[in-house]
Amino acid sequence: MMMVELGVSSPLAAVVAVLGLEWSYTLRNVVAGAAVLGVVGGVLGSFATLRRQSLLGDTLAHAALPGVCIAYIITGSRESLPLMIGAGLSGLVGTLFYLLITRTTRIKDDAGLGIVLSTGFGLGLLLLTYVQNTGGSGQSGLDRFLFGQAASLVRNDVITMSILGAIALATVVLLFKEFKLLSFDPDFAASIGYPTTMLTILITALLIVAVVIGLQAVGVILVVAILIAPASAARQWTDQLSTMLVLSGLFGAVSGAIGAILSSQITDLPTGPAVVLIATTLTAISLLAAPRRGLLWAAISRRRHRQRVQLASILHDLADAAAGEAGAVIPLTDLQAKRGVPGRLMTRQLAMLASRGLVARSINGREGWSLTAAGAEATAEASRRERVWKQYMARQMDLPVDAIHYDATEIERVLPPEALAMIEAELRAEDAAAIGRASDVVAGPPRRPSRPTARPGQAP
Amino acid sequence: MSTVQTSDLGVIPATLVESQRRRSAAPTGDETVATGPPPVEIRDLTVAYHERPVLWDVDLTVRPGKLTAIVGPNGAGKSTLIKAALGLVPVAAGWVKIFGEPFAEQRRLVAYIPQRGSVDWDFPTDALDVVTMGRYGTLGWFRRPGKRERQIAMDKLRQVGMADFARRQISELSGGQQQRVFLARALAQEADLYFMDEPFAGVDATTERAIVELLQELRSQGKTVVAVHHDLNTVDDYFDDVALLNVRLVAYGPVDDVFTHANLHATYGGRIGFLSGGPAETSAAVAD
């Protein structure tokens, strides 16, 4: 490399070494260029993934390669602007070809993308070989368009990329509302008079711009990563489209910049793979650690749920065994026999309940536990919710399946307010009737006594 | 007692049952038609995909201020009829007029609820934001929705019993709640004519009741509703008029007149055996 000789052997060492680097002309260009392509790719990639068209980005990129070669053959220039224009036009032709074959024949979307991608790439490689052979090996430097070479960026390249990127981003800001509706519900958008075909062409053209910006730095083969990975990572952290776009742009810029620095420091490491690895790492971290959507979060909440169910069961057991007698002490051995859980686990769970003031321990000869007043109240409330739930489940067997896994503690989340009020009124009437008869209240559902799929005490 | 129990729908608010009884008792067939052009006028409409006709020569003039159901077997072109009226699918022949003019000139008078399954509910947005989309048509290019739009959207969410869910991510809503959000979005369009594609599909019974009440409220305000409907057992409960469709229009008119066994047979062929197991009222209506 033309940079300082570092003698680094690992990417990590390279990053650290960068801190001691001279903030040189080349490094500035590399970082600025990679950041620009990261921001633009991240923002437009978000729309592409939400519209389920991320592979269109990949196809565009591969279809752009012939354009790069043809532009070079015609102009003989290594300047980035003519090459970018060639790439953009070629990507556009690829898109139109894709639309043509999927709309007029029975070829499906994925096959259509595959055809355009492979044809474009094949043609591109053919032309690349031709250029290399006629102009002397490596003369054209076009091979940097395959895997990307951020270090080859000069100031003019970065300026061109920045102008194109700014136009693309400004369009997104201006048409944010329109693009959002187009992505979420295109039929509705068309029904209120949005020119959806024109908007689709526009958003695809912007995607082409994003790809073209990234070609020299990241290469046709891997530029798709800067479209998909930051968007997927950003989606994990937010439920708002605007926030997602900002985050995605940020993730894109960070991966672009770090990847470019790495590749400029490590001999023979193309920029594309470096950027891909950084972006994918960000995505992996997001998939794991993001609140609510992340895998870790899911595991923790599953664990919490199981524990909540188990704690509720213990309270129920205590209430059952007490049979209405306030403060009745139940021997630990009885509780253990009923639950069939390991003794240590039960002791720990009882201690947890005690720390919340729901149960009290008493040692009178042998260990026993009783419900406190607060514990009795909590148990009664849980029973009430469960009864509402049971009643609802029995009545409304056409409840959508996705709603059934909730347990009764989240009842407001599933039941519409009218239903909740209606069933509660019904239960009150039932209770009043039962008291009138002075007989046992049978909480079982009036008909179809099928067992509810999920309720406290029956953890999946 | 505030509720009545029926054999297959679970709990129904007593007031609702009353209002339905009153309505069934009133004559619905031969009221004088209101002045002005009809909400929907369809002439000689033919739509084809890859040369296979989906709709064939359909003529239909929807009565104003009525709830009209479009029923028919799978692949009968029910959704396509609505989409053709809204200009969402290319028309091979014929034309559609909305209140006497082409749809493109009457968009502000029309609200549309697509099938719930047609969108990705994991899209990063919340209930209030989706309902606000109902105002986009009147907002114009580039302008962002502001306080006024969100206020209207919030009112509509309240109207469908979803005020507490305004900031809930839409993937965390149940099927019935998602359908309510779509309804609220259509209400936010503040239209005179409502096209609904399967509004009752996949919703819980309580939401179904709430939607029915909302439809009746729209009718009482003089609005016209055209809905694709899949449950033959509830057609005579929920709707005034019915269009029986199977590529061709088999019959159209007041439910009491055209929702007959002969017409159903002509629409569904031999596939209506399940009707005999339905509630007594429906069987009676069908046997007329």
A3-7, A200-204, A259-263, B80-84: lowest mean pLDDT where? A3-7
Contact B120 A181 (CB under 8 A): no
CB burial string A234-268: b at 16+ within 10 A, e below: bbbbbbebeebbbbbbbbbbbbbbbbbbbbbbbee
- Mean pLDDT of the region A118-125: 95
* B203 near A CB under 8 A: yes
* CA pair distance A85, A208, nearest whole angstrom: 11
* CA pair distance A14, A297, nearest whole angstrom: 33
Q: What residues 126-155 of chain B have any CB closer than 8 A to a CB of chain A? A: 126, 130, 133, 136-137, 139, 141-145
Reported as a single tens digit per residue, the pLDDT across A129-170 is 888 887 654 566 788 888 888 888 888 889 999 999 999 999
- Mean pLDDT of the region A427-454: 53
- Mean pLDDT of the region A231-240: 95
Q: From chain A, pick out residues whose CB is under 8 angstroms from the CB of B175.
A: 400, 402-403
Q: Which of A184, A191, A422 to mutate to test the interface with B (most CBs of B within 10 A)?
A: A191
- What's the pLDDT score for residue A396? 59
Q: Which CATH superfamily is domain A2-293 in?
A: ABC transporter involved in vitamin B12 uptake, BtuC (1.10.3470.10)
A37-51, A276-290, A387-401, B223-237: lowest mean pLDDT where? A387-401
Whether the CA torsion A43, A48, A54, A60 is positive or negative: it is negative
Q: Coil, helix or strand for B243?
A: strand
pLDDT at residue A301 above 60? yes
Q: From chain B, pick out residues whose CB is under 8 angstroms from the CB of A430.
A: none
Reported as a single tens digit per residue, the pLDDT across A167-191 is 999 999 999 999 999 999 999 999 9
Cα-based angle A263, A265, A268 (whole degrees, multiple of 5): 55
- Which residues of chain B are under the pLDDT cut of 50? 1-33, 273-288
A3-7, A67-71, A117-121, B130-134: lowest mean pLDDT where? A3-7
Q: From chain A, pick out residues whose CB is under 8 angstroms from the CB of B177.
A: 416
- What's the pLDDT score for residue A175? 96
- What's the pLDDT score for residue A315? 87
- Mean pLDDT of the region A326-353: 80
> Which one is predicted more confidently, B17 or A328?
A328
Contact B87 A419 (CB under 8 A): no
Size of interface A-B (CB pairs under 8 A): 123
Residue (of A176, A50, A187, A241) closest to B139 by Cα position: A176
**Contacts of B51 by beta carbon, 8 Å cutoff, 6+ apart:** none
Q: From chain B, pick out residues whose CB is under 8 angstroms from the CB of A413.
A: 172, 174
- What's the pLDDT score for residue B99? 95
- What's the pLDDT score for residue A294? 86
Strands (E), B88-164: 93-98, 101-102, 110-113
Contact A396 B204 (CB under 8 A): yes
Per domain, the residue ranges of chain A are 2-293, 300-460
Contact A400 B202 (CB under 8 A): yes
Query: Which of B50, B88, B141 shows the shortest C-beta gap to A187?
Result: B88
pLDDT at residue A402 above 80? no
* B86 near A CB under 8 A: yes
Whether the CA torsion A122, A125, A131, A136 is positive or negative: it is negative
- What's the pLDDT score for residue A154? 87
CATH class of A300-460: mainly alpha
Min Cα distance A38 → chain B (Å) is 21
